[in-house]
Chains A and B, each alone.
Chain A
Amino acid sequence: MKQHTVIKNSLITAGILGAATGFCFLIQEAAESDTHVPLLFVLAVLFISRFTDGYIYGIVASMIAVVGVNYVFTYPYFAIDFTITGYPVTFIAMLAVACSVSALTTQIKKQEQIRLEAEKEKMRGNLLRAVSHDIRTPLTSIMGAASVVLENYGELSDEKRMDFLKDIREESQWLIQIVENLLSITRIGDNGGSASIDKQEEMVEEIVGSAVLKFRKRYPDVEVAVRLPEDPLLVPMDGILIEQVLVNLMENSVLHGKHTSKVEVSAEEEKDRVVFYVDDDGAGIRPSALPKLFEGTFRQGDEESCDSRRNMGIGLSVCMSIIRAHQGDMKAENRKEGGARLSFWLPMERGTDQWR
């Protein structure tokens, strides 16, 4: 890998220097003076610094240019002669220009990288904030309920005690979901700035079936319908992550649909992709919320107050990162007959490992 970049950078350096030399020869035929030569080589050094990694190539190129220009383009041609009048000044200046240009472009590249890093940090920070909010709320009710039972054990009726204990169990269940979502993020690798995952061919019916089974265990009262193509469908994916996406989407339908009684999961094969749909008969999504649904940034102010604890901001943004890492895409809309439809697609062919 390292050797590979060295070869690549050396080739770029040689290529640009060669092109500059060739260009000088061409112009020399027409032009009377040779003042353009040093300028052209400074330009070449600038390009080299821009397209190679690190200082080294730009500086080496400028040295080659200084010696090369003397050797080829100044009288006596094809001989090194440092005695020409004004030569030292011209060429020391050229070396200096080349060096600083190369240093400058390298610095710009470094700053660009710092900016990218900062952006990533910001995203991570947003996610962490959303997560700690989502974790803190159920933790508060667990702690509260446990203290109430412990401190007022004798005064509470059996029924009340049971209620508090049930709350504790339910909130813990909710915490488990959050942790599961966080864990799935750790399965997405970081491959030189782009997300990468471990894809394997999975049978669509198995992933959907397994997700539906998990969902049924948690929400036995909600009716689930599954509609899949008749023929078995093998699609490259990280099965565990796609299962998590489906479970998240189904849960979202229930938690945000307010009166959802039926969820339908379906998949269709299109030309070079498989599209998954999760439809519900709930309240649908507020049109104003649609554009920022997948952002994952928590905005306390404009969340609907009814159930901000069940803010699935992270759930959806986790889904989005998973689907993007699969080189697919995701979309939310309201159905004409009422309720919401969330859909995502995955490419059928084994794509390259890198995304973007």
Chain B
Amino acid sequence: MVEDDKRISSFFKTVLESNRYDVIMASTGSEAYSLITSQCPDLVILDLGLPDMDGMNILRSVREWSSMPVIVVSARTHEKDKVEALDLGADDYITKPFGTSELLARIRTAIRHSRAAFLNQGGAPTGTFVSGGLTIDYDKHRVFVDGTDAGLTQNEYKIVSLLGKYAGKVMTYDSIIKEIWGPNMKNDNRILRVNMANIRRKIEKNPAEPQYIFTEVGVGYRIVEPD
């Protein structure tokens, strides 16, 4: 856990230890980097505002050799910072201030993801994704709602299965567009928005009160966690 503010780090430590996590603390970027490389933790909670360097640099260098889950904590609220961190490979982004229950939930999600990714290395996901009435059948390339085929088009299916692969994590607009339409697609959110509107009309009861796919305004989309 990388955090330079003593009060915040002490409350983090208390909360995490009472939830039976082992916590290693670092208060500067260089200390953090040497601890991350020597101890290889299961998860890094990284504050972006550090006294000796920008936390983004740590994230960048960790991503060069490891896919360990990194949760970025920051007081920067502009969605550009969020998008940048997520695109650099952060697993999650929490804006200060936040509650402890929220932090714990995000930690659980991130750890579960890294396990799932380890078991299912690379390639397209297989099997099924089930959450409430929503089923993604990765083998048949179909999405079912309450047992009936939602009739998604190929691109719509690709978007939903991409979100399903990273369930619980926010996928930025850019990363979805690159994945579905390729890197040469001009950065135009409109086509993605329209596709998403169609998907929601097929799988949600009320598109404005989604149960399955949520919008993080200015950042991207996130699908519910599987059951």
Chain A residues at the B interface, C-beta cutoff of 8 Å: 172, 176, 180, 183, 187, 200-203, 205-210, 212-213, 226, 228, 232, 234, 239-240, 243
Contacts and interface: CB of A to CB of B under 8 A. Distances in A.
B218 A201 contact: no
A203 B196 CA distance: 9
A251 B206 CA distance: 22
A180 B190 CA distance: 28
A203 B193 contact: yes
A176 B217 contact: no
Contacts of A228: 207-208
A206 B210 CA distance: 9
7 contacts: A203-B197, A206-B193, A208-B208, A209-B214, A226-B206, A239-B218, A240-B217
A174 B77 CA distance: 17
A234 B193 contact: yes
Nearest to B96: A176
Interface in B184-226: 189-190, 193-194, 196-198, 200-201, 206-210, 214-218
B122 interface: no
A176 B97 contact: yes
Contacts of A203: 193, 196-197, 215
Contacts of B198: 232
Interface residues of B, number: 23
Contacts of A210: 214-217
B208 A212 contact: yes
A218 to B, nearest CB: 12
Given A172-B97, A226-B206, A239 B217 contact: yes
B214 A213 contact: yes
Contacts of A243: 217
B42 interface: no
B190 A205 contact: no
Contacts of A172: 97
Contacts, number: 59
Contacts of A200: 189
Given A203-B193, A205-B208, 17 more contacts: A172-B97, A180-B77, A202-B217, A203-B196, A206-B196, A206-B217, A208-B208, A209-B209, A210-B215, A210-B217, A213-B214, A226-B209, A228-B208, A232-B194, A232-B197, A234-B193, A239-B218
B217 A205 contact: no
Given A183-B77, A228-B207, A206 B215 contact: yes
Contacts of B206: 226
B31 interface: no
A276 to B, nearest CB: 12
Given A203-B196, A228-B207, A234-B190, A209 B215 contact: yes
B190 A201 contact: yes
A203 B191 CA distance: 11
Contacts of B54: none
A176 B201 CA distance: 34
Contact of A201 (B193, B208, B209): B193
B84 interface: no
Chain A CB within 10 Å, residue with most, of B78, B196, B207, B214:
B207
A216 to B, nearest CB: 9
B5 interface: no
Contacts of A205: 197, 200, 207-208
B17 interface: no
Interface in B53-78: 77-78
